[in-house]
């Protein structure tokens, strides 16, 4: 069984344009080994009938088994934390920036990890 340091579902993320009738749902998992699995699903809101959900697809998958430093985990948890009220919901561009930042972070950690291995050899 995998132990996750972050395992959260963020539903009803508003598009950057507040007048849109679409939203997004994110499924975010980061395990203790630093592997990242972020999936995305679009939602079309329809008044008077059930919302329509698209298929779920991979937004970012990194399986490098290089742990994320402990001091960064709390920051990532905060960036993916659920808003305390619907009045303060974050828009999709916030989460897109966080996902792009995780990709950069993992690349930098891997580069440092590989440099440490070279120094060791």
Helix (H) or strand (E) holding 26: strand 22-31
Q: How many domains does the chain have?
A: 1
Residue 31: C-alpha distances to residues 16, 22, 74, 90, 92 (Å): 29, 30, 14, 24, 23
Name the residue among 111, 78, 96, 107 with its Cα closest to residue 38: 96
Domain of residue 109, residue span: 4-120
pLDDT tens across the length of the chain (121 residues): 789 999 999 988 887 666 567 889 999 999 999 999 999 999 888 777 888 889 999 999 999 999 999 889 999 999 988 766 665 677 889 999 999 999 999 999 998 876 665 454 4
């Amino acid at each position: 069984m995998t132990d996750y340091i972050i395992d959260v579902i963020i539903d009803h993320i508003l598009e950057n344009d507040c007048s849109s009738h679409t939203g997004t749902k994110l499924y975010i998992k980061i395990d203790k080994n630093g592997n990242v699995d972020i999936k995305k699903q679009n939602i079309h809101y329809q008044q008077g009938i059930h919302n329509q959900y698209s298929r779920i697809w991979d937004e970012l998958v990194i399986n490098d088994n290089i742990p994320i430093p402990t001091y960064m985990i709390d920051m990532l948890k905060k960036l993916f934390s659920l808003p305390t009220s619907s009045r303060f919901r974050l828009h999709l561009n916030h989460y897109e920036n966080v996902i792009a930042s995780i990709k950069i972070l993992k690349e930098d950690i891997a580069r440092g990890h590989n440099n440490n291995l070279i120094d060791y050899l």
